[in-house]
Amino acid sequence: MDAARATSFGAWAEEYDGWRPTYPDAAVDWLVPPHAVHVAEVGAGTGKLTDRLTERDLELDVVEPDGRMLGILSRRHPGLRIHETVATSLPLGDASVDAVLVADAWHWFPKLDAAAEVARVLTPTGWLGCVWNVPVLRHDWEWRALRLDPALQPPDDLDPLDRIGLSAGRAEQRAFRWTWTLTPRQWRGFVSTVSHVRLLPEDECQAALDETEQLVERACAAAGTTTAPLTHDALCVRWYPPT
């Protein structure tokens, strides 16, 4: 994974925080072990999953390498224990956390080294919980609005270990479907935070976002509405390190 792309989000941290969605409660319920007391969130960004975790009775350590993302997170959660570092160097003791949670970020990590570090800090009954908000696109205009190619999407039945790029240990997965409703402007905002669009040359990026907004406007006009739904699967994987 391209390291520059992995850490590109901080350059538009405010927009990221403004336009990206949260994660549904059912997914968080599945990711957080019922016995969990102490959990770590890694690659926390501006705190989209952190917001959900702080609603629960958990001792929380938050790890994120980009100070601009963390600035927003700590503004919203001033008392939280935060660490400006990477997944491969967790500032946590051996066998010290009941879960390591990662939202829309595991694919950016050097997976084998990150997995070794996760295995080190997990208690024997702990797990790694990853979640991605994956768009569920049914119409051609939706694929074009997100500038995604249906032919390049991973298959729905991908093995959970393959999904997290690991071969050791055991993994299971579940998807939690949810829908939000956005105006054409909000669709534009959301798409502007997706790295494969945001990292286009500036003029191409703006042209792509103009097209996104127009596609959604047309879909709304055809449906006689001012908003268009966007469905996601909150795709979750739990990984148990080899013993």
Residue 45 binding ligand SAM, by CB under 6 A:
yes
Q: For residues 136 and 77, is the Cβ–Cβ distance under 8 A? A: no
Residue from 7, 123, 227, 231 binding ligand SAM (CB under 6 A): 7
Report how far residue 231's alpha carbon sits from residue 48's, in angstroms, rounded to the nearest whole number.
Answer: 18
H or E element, residue 233: strand 228-240
Say if CB 163 and CB 226 are below 8 A apart: no
The nearest distance, CB 108 to ligand SAM, in angstroms, is 4
Measured between its terminal Cα atoms, the distance across the chain in Å is 28
Nearer to ligand SAM, 69 or 219 (CB): 69
Interface stretch with ligand SAM, choices 44-52, 117-125, 147-155, 165-173 (CB under 6 A): 44-52
Figure out which of the listed residues 19, 20, 74, 127 binds ligand SAM, where binding follows CB under 6 A. 20
Stretch that binds ligand SAM, among 3-11, 75-83, 183-191, 220-228 (CB under 6 A): 3-11
CA–CA separation, 52 vs 205, rounded Å? 31
Length of the chain: 243
Q: Which residues 84-103 are close enough to bind ligand SAM by CB under 6 A?
A: 86-87, 103
Q: Which is nearer to ligand SAM, 105 or 118 (CB)?
A: 105
What SS3 class is residue 136?
strand
Nearest distance from residue 223's CB to ligand SAM, in Å?
Answer: 29
* Token reading at 203: 């003029």
| Shortest distance (Å) from residue 55 CB to ligand SAM | 15
Give yes or no for residue 115 binding ligand SAM (CB under 6 A).
Answer: no
Query: Which residues are registered as beta bridge partners of 181?
Result: 229
Q: How many CA atoms lie within 13 A of 197 on its CB side?
A: 25
Angle at 199 between CA 190 and CA 67, to 5 degrees: 80
Asked if 117 is part of the footprint of ligand SAM (rule: CB under 6 A), the reply reads no
Q: Does 69 bind ligand SAM (CB under 6 A)?
A: yes
Residue among 219 and 230 whose Cβ is closer to ligand SAM: 230
Name the residues that contact ligand SAM, by CB under 6 A: 6-7, 9, 20, 42-45, 48-49, 64-66, 69, 86-87, 103-105, 108-109
